[in-house]
């Protein structure tokens, strides 16, 4: 029998009940910029930010979130909606440039029944996809194989994302 070690999942498994107690998104964006890498924050804008998913579906799984803590999509202001969508676009471009996925799943899980793991602070998922990234592992052993380390991806994506956002701001 072969063993697949996914040691990073143990933190999630051991703390799954605690995760819903605090808003990890609010905690991450409250940090000073020098701690953004530690919290996987890729960009902070005026009303929204980009963060890597600590428990990704695939490597490069990003989330775009309003800075304001809200569980109600309909409460988003026009300014928040515009910035969130511009960040989603920049994230897709950055992921195309850095890790070359074949496609993307982009969307919101609004409410627990819709699949939201954190329903108190809405966020838009950007999941890069590749031909053949769905295999037997999740079906047979409920294990997802992520082939790249978070911080390695962070270091590749961040400068590209920042360059694209700056270019978008210039017009």
CATH code for position 161: 3.30.428.10
Q: What is the pLDDT of residues 61-107, one digit of tens each?
A: 999 999 999 999 999 999 999 999 999 999 999 999 999 999 999 99
Q: What is the pLDDT of residues 106-148, one digit of tens each?
A: 999 998 888 888 889 999 999 999 887 664 444 444 444 455 6
Annotated binding-site members for substrate: 53, 125
Question: Residues 121, 58: contact at Cβ < 8 Å?
Answer: no
At 123, list the tokens.
């966020």
Residue 111 is predicted with a pLDDT of 87
- What is the Cβ-side half-sphere exposure of residue 169, based on CA atoms within 13 angstroms? 10
Total domain count for the chain?
1
Closest CA to 81 of 57, 59, 96, 65: 65
In degrees, rounded to 5, the angle at the alpha carbon of residue 117 between the alpha carbons of residues 34 and 122 is: 65
At 161, list the tokens.
């994302």
Is 161 part of any domain?
yes
Is 76 part of any domain?
yes
- Report residue 4's pLDDT band, with 50, 70 and 90 as the boundaries: low
Is 108 part of any domain?
yes
Is 92 part of any domain?
yes
Separation of alpha carbons 116 and 68, rounded Å? 18
Q: What is the pLDDT of residues 148-165, one digit of tens each?
A: 667 889 999 999 999 999
pTM over 0.75: yes
Residue 10 is predicted with a pLDDT of 58
| Residue tagged active-site, from 102, 123, 131, 149 | 123
Is 18 part of any domain?
no
Is 1 part of any domain?
no
Separation of alpha carbons 78 and 110, rounded Å? 19
More confident residue, 4 or 157: 157
- Report residue 20's pLDDT band, with 50, 70 and 90 as the boundaries: very low
Residue 40 belongs to domain spanning? 23-165
Is 5 part of any domain?
no
Q: Is 101 left (phi over 0), alpha (psi -120 to 50) or beta?
A: beta
Is 171 part of any domain?
no
Residue 59 is predicted with a pLDDT of 86
Annotated binding-site members: 53, 125
Question: Residues 102, 70: contact at Cβ < 8 Å?
Answer: no
Q: Check if 3 is active-site.
A: no
At 2, list the tokens.
């072969």
Separation of alpha carbons 135 and 58, rounded Å? 12
Residue 5 is predicted with a pLDDT of 54
Residue 9 is predicted with a pLDDT of 55
């Amino acid at each position: 029998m072969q063993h697949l070690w996914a040691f990073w999942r143990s933190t999630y498994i051991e703390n799954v009940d605690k995760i819903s107690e605090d808003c990890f998104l609010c905690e991450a964006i409250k940090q000073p910029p020098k701690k953004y890498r530690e919290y996987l924050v890729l960009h902070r804008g005026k009303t929204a930010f980009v963060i890597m998913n600590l428990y990704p579906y695939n490597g490069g799984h990003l989330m775009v979130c309003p800075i304001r803590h809200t569980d109600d999509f309909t409460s988003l202001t026009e300014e928040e909606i515009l910035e969130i969508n511009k960040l989603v676009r920049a994230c897709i471009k950055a992921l195309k440039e850095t890790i070359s996925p074949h496609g993307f799943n982009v969307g919101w899980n609004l409410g627990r029944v819709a699949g939201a793991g954190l329903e108190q602070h809405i966020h838009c998922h950007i999941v890069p996809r590749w031909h053949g990234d769905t295999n037997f592992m999740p079906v047979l052993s409920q294990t997802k194989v992520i082939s790249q380390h978070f911080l390695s991806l962070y270091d590749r994506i961040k400068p590209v994302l920042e360059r694209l956002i700056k270019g978008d701001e210039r017009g």
